[in-house]
Chains A and B, each alone.
Chain A
Amino acid sequence: MIARRSFIAAGLTGLAASALHPGIAWASAGTVKRFVFIIQRGAADGLATVAPTGDPDYLRARGALAEDALSGTKLDSLFTLHPELAQTAALFGQKKASFVHAMSSGCRERSHFDAQNMLESGASRPYGSSDGWLNRLLTLLPEGEARALAVAPALPLALRGPAPASSYAQSRMRGANDDLMRRVSMIYAEDAQLSGLWEDAQSTAEMAGMQDGLMRGGQAVGTMAAGLMTGAEGARVLMLETNGWDTHSNQRGRLGAPLRQADALIAALKDGLGAEWRNTLVLVATEFGRTVAFNGTGGTDHGTASAAILLGGNLQHGGTVQSDWPGLAPSMLFESRDLRPTVRFESVVSGAIAHHFQIDPILARKTMFPDFVL
């Protein structure tokens, strides 16, 4: 019999703590905390990333196509990490990584666009909010530390909202000269939208001045991201986007590359942050999972629950897989096809963030996910 209940509800420790200090937002003193959200756009297959190899129904459902999983790093009696995530596995061994499985947002439809919208807005329905939870997190951080940046041409929904945040993408082009930049500021002076954007663009370009060269592969992105987060003026909240996860066909061939890139990104981010790693929390999450069974073309179709990764120097549950595993027996599947969700994204995120930034867990949850009820 497999130990199926290793999950510790993220809310429990929070409840106890807030009973002692009701309503107080604990601003962290002294240390400067950082948070990175890496979104996997396209629905990453949690059943391949963190494979439940100890569940006999897994091998039954995926057959020969599950064999890849067996050569990875065994995390516990139930789960094996995909072999392409070797550096992440090493972090798991040092209790600097943990996984959450059978997790999902409130989205039960299988549309990428709706589900990404909910994953980023944190709302209880698609397009239910035009702000993102990552932006709302900024309102909880100590004043002067709420600097947020997305490595993207424009701001992703998760970071949109009233708190200031900017976007940054590298350029291969020759820069415009200072005089032109100044004159552009003048013609934008009366335009509310453009003057704000322009101010952001200029200060970010300045800050990233030392980070030359194009983003190539996960390692370069990780190094650049670390660079954008270090120094007194560096970003404290950063969002990165990854893609290539929508493996409708030939999943065995297609999933290796994005996983390898993610692994390299994580390792380079950790190396680049150096001593700051211990003050950093990284969340890797996707909009939904993929079908338990392979489809007719060696791939998987849109599913429901998936797995998330938490990394960092000071994790609450480092070196464990957090899961109330529902099992993959046909009768246990959601709508007879998908991994059944047993834990909500919103509680995992707010729990981890509250622990990391030492803020009241209930306040964290209510601020970031006001629609979400436990």
Chain B
Amino acid sequence: MAIDAAIAMNRFGLGAKAQQYVPAKPRQWLLDQLGRFDARPAVIAALPRLPQLAREFYEYQIKSREVRTLRNSETADAAASLEMMDLQRKGMRRDLRDDYTQAVAARFDAALVSETDFAERLVHFWSNHFAISVDKQPVIPFAGNYEFDAIRPNILGKFSDLLFASITHPAMLLYLDQAQSVGPGSMVAKRVRKNRNRKIGLNENLAREILELHTLGVRTGYDQSDVTELARALTGLTVPGIGGGRLLERLLGADITPGETLFVEQLHEPGARQIMGRTYAAGGKAQAYAVLSDLAVHPATARHIAAKLAQHFVSDVPPDVLVKRLEENFLKTGGDLASLYQTLVESPEAWPTSWDTGQAKFKSPWEWMVSSLRMVGLESRPDTGPTRAERAAAMFVQLGQPIWRPGSPAGYADQADTWAGGAALMRRVELASEMGRRSAGRLDARQLAPQALPGVLSDNTVEGIARAESPAQGLSLLLVSPEFLRR
């Protein structure tokens, strides 16, 4: 059926590109993409790697400390050098911010040109499932690297690998405070208590979100003691040199590379753990891994992941039979993700026969913007900031979905209610107007529309586009048409 091609390109993919051929075998076209997916395309490979990003942040912290010391000192010398030092500090802060905007632009560019956009969509899905947020300062330089290093290479393997990679990346450890969490009975805590009479200890933030958001899902039977026990099991996992005190640097001496995830035995809470009715023997790093391995294949996790995937690809309230089928596949394969995607693509529930409100998903700002620019081409990118990368980042702020800044570890919601608002719609119309203006003379919306949305356009939309006062206005109308706002 003609509508199947529109579904493959828009619902599973990121939207048709101008001149793209319409896939004849939509399901096969999607599954083939998984084999061709490039986890490290050139735009991403060109970015600074983790050690460099960490060094930049590390040096920024040192500079900030120096500035603080000078500020508190009252000598004339201090005042003279303060100004210079503060300028340097601000320059370094700008560089860190640039690392973020460059990464946003790379993510955007990768999505715009991708020929394996079903896989690309899966990257975005998982990055949002294991959400981090740059409203916490130390996360800013690492956010892009998190998606590029922890998520991208792991979307086709086992769920457990994706889980390990995500939660042990410095961005996650810093975002959910794990980097500072210390076992209250650990060697370090005991020593600090004795020498300095200061209390350091547990932070349960990451542990709670692993159970609630990353694996089992909320209200699935875990309780406060499971959260606390998991927090204890995770102690030891930290990011030396970033964020927290210099305690660890003193403890580990010169042997550390700042910004690299490390398991530090001296921070780990000794002893066995009881989590979800199971006992985990003492054993340092292996203990946390044993717990996470069990959580990754737990039936509640299978149900949670199945429901989220179905909600993302099929419907705000996905059919039970689909969720059940995905859940069974997850359990049968021990969380094999490629097999899960295949089950999804082959499920009839994912291929509705119409494109109306009840059947189609309302695009998020990211989805809408990416599909718009895939269709109209990069030249039509609207202008909202001084540099190309900043423009990309600023645009998503305006649309209400800043990249890697959902503001909460739950990530962005995957439901129409979150995005289908009056103000949000007005913003899209404004941007569409701008994109229309910029494409003036290059594109004909009357031809583009049936290529991008084969078999789904209503007469009303076709007519509205045909009657537009100019080619630019016709394109703007296509971009905000009911069919293009949905997938």
Chain A residues close to B by CB (< 8 Å): 41-42, 109-114, 126, 152-155, 157, 160, 166-169, 171-177, 179-181, 183-184, 186-194, 197-198, 200-202, 204-205, 243-244, 248-249, 294-297, 299, 301-302, 335
A295 cross-chain contacts in B, Cβ below 8 A: 201-204
Contact residues, B162-192 vs A (CB, 8 A): 176-177, 180-182, 184, 189
The answer for the CA separation of A111 and B180 in the assembled complex, in Å, is 21
Whether A184 lies near B469 (C-beta < 8 A) is: no
Answer whether A171 and B426 are a contact pair too, CB < 8 Å, given A112-B410, A190-B460: yes
Does B92 sit at the interface, judged by CB under 8 A? Answer: no
Most chain A CB within a 10 A radius of its CB, from B467, B468, B469, B482? B482
Looking at the complex, which of B106-114, B253-261, B413-421 is the stretch in contact with chain A?
A: B413-421
**Given contacts A112-B408, A187-B481, A190-B460, A176 and B422 within 8 Å (CB-CB):** no
List the A residue with the shortest CB-CB distance to B204. Answer: A301
Which of B180, B201, B399 counts the most chain A CB atoms within 10 A? B180
Contact B400 A154 (CB under 8 A): yes
Chain A residues in 8 Å Cβ range of B480: 184, 187
A346 to B429, CA, bound (A): 39
Asked whether A166 lies within 8 Å of B422 as measured between CB atoms, the reply is yes
Query: Which listed segment binds A: B151-159, B277-285, B430-438?
Result: B430-438
User: By the criterion CB–CB under 8 Å, are B476 and A180 in contact?
Assistant: yes
User: Is the beta-carbon distance between B201 and A296 smaller than 8 angstroms?
Assistant: yes
- 8 extra interchain contacts, Cβ-Cβ under 8 A, other than A113-B410, A173-B382, A180-B477? A126-B219, A153-B419, A167-B424, A201-B422, A248-B177, A296-B180, A296-B200, A299-B177
- B177 x A173 contact (CB < 8 A): no
* A residues near B384, Cβ cutoff 8 Å: 172-173
**A-B contact list, 10 entries, CB within 8 Å:** A111-B218, A126-B218, A153-B400, A154-B421, A173-B431, A176-B430, A249-B177, A294-B199, A297-B177, A335-B224
A201 touches B464 (CB 8 A): no
Query: Considering the chains assembled together, what is the distance between the CA atoms of A36 and B432 in angstroms?
Result: 33
Enumerate chain B residues within 8 angstroms of A112, measured Cβ to Cβ: 408, 410
Contact partner of A204 among B189, B224, B422, CB < 8 A?
Answer: B422
Known: A114-B218, A171-B430, A297-B181. A194 touches B424 (CB 8 A): no
| Residue from A42, A112, A157, A248 whose CB has the most chain B CB atoms within 10 Å | A248
B182, B425, B485: most-surrounded residue (chain A CB, <10 A): B425
> Total A-B pairs in contact (CB under 8 Å)?
171
Q: Is B398 an interface residue (CB 8 A)?
A: yes
B357 CB-CB contact with A under 8 Å: yes
**Are A171 and B482 CB-contacts (below 8 A) given A183-B468, A296-B181?**
no
B427 close to A (CB within 8 Å): yes
Q: Which of B203, B430, B432 contacts A248 (CB 8 A)?
A: B203
- For residue A173, which residues in chain B have a CB less than 8 angstroms away from its CB? 382, 384, 398, 427, 430-431, 434
**Interface set of B (CB-CB < 8 Å, partner A):** 135, 176-177, 180-182, 184, 189, 199-205, 208, 212, 218-219, 224, 244, 357, 382, 384, 398-400, 407-408, 410, 416-427, 429-434, 458, 460-461, 464, 467-469, 473, 476-477, 480-482, 485
A204 CA to B418 CA, complexed, in Å:
19
Tell me whether A197 and B420 are in contact (CB under 8 A): yes
The 9 closest A-B pairs by CB, nearest first: A296-B201, A154-B421, A201-B422, A153-B400, A200-B422, A176-B433, A187-B464, A169-B423, A297-B180
Contacts A171-B427, A172-B398, A335-B224 given; indicate if A152 touches B421 (C-beta within 8 A): yes
Residues of B within 8 A of A184 (CB): 429, 477, 480
Please, which residues of chain B bring their CB within 8 A of the CB of A335?
224
**Inside 8 A of B433's CB, which chain A residues have their CB?**
174, 176-177, 180
A191 touching B422 by the CB < 8 A rule?
no
Task: Tell whether, in the assembled complex, residue A201 and residue B203 are in contact, meaning their CB atoms are under 8 Å apart.
Answer: no
Contact of A154 among B420, B469, B481 (CB under 8 A): B420
Instruction: Chain A residues near B482: list those with CB within 8 A.
Output: 187-188, 191, 194
In the assembled complex, the CB of A299 is this many whole angstroms from the nearest CB of chain B, namely: 7
| Contact partners of B184 in chain A: CB under 8 A | 296
If the complex has contacts A110-B208, A166-B422, are A175 and B203 also in contact, measured as CB distance less than 8 A?
no
Known A-B contacts A111-B212, A154-B418, A180-B433; A296 and B202 likewise in contact (beta carbons under 8 Å)? yes
Q: How far is the CA of A249 from the CA of B357 in the complex (A)?
A: 43
Inter-chain contacts of B467 with A (CB < 8 A):
183
Beta-carbon nearest neighbor of B459 in chain A: A190
Cβ–Cβ < 8 Å partners of A200 in chain B: 422
Is B204 a contact partner of A167 (Cβ separation < 8 A)? Answer: no
- Say which residue of B200, B398, B417, B464 sits within 8 Å of A155 (CB atoms): B417
Quick check: B423 and A191 within 8 Å, CB to CB? no
Contact A198 B425 (CB under 8 A): yes
With A183-B464, A194-B425, A194-B482 as contacts: A109 and B420 at CB distance below 8 Å: no
Report whether B426 and A154 are in contact in the complex, using a CB–CB cutoff of 8 Å: no
Q: Is there contact, CB below 8 Å, between A168 and B422?
A: yes
The residues of A that contact B431 with a CB separation of less than 8 Å are 173
Of A171, A175, A243, which contacts B398 at CB under 8 A?
A171
Q: Are B473 and A179 in contact (CB under 8 A)?
A: yes
Which residues from B are CB-within-8-Å of A175? 430
CA distance A259 to B336 in the complex (A): 46
Contact partners of A157 in chain B: CB under 8 A: 417
Give the CA-CA distance A172 to B382 in the complex, in Å.
12
Tell whether A155 pairs with B408 under 8 Å between CB atoms, given A173-B384, A190-B460.
no
Whole-angstrom distance between the Cβ of A292 and the nearest chain B Cβ: 14
Q: Name the one of B201, B398, B407, B469 contacting A179, with C-beta atoms under 8 angstroms.
A: B469
Among residues of B, the one whose C-beta sits closest to the C-beta of A243 is B407
Q: A197 near B425 (CB under 8 angstroms)?
A: yes
Shortest Cβ gap from A75 to chain B (Å): 29
Could you say which residues of chain A place their CB within 8 Å of the CB of B202?
295-296
Tell me which residues across on chain A come within 8 A of B430, comparing CB atoms: 171, 173-176
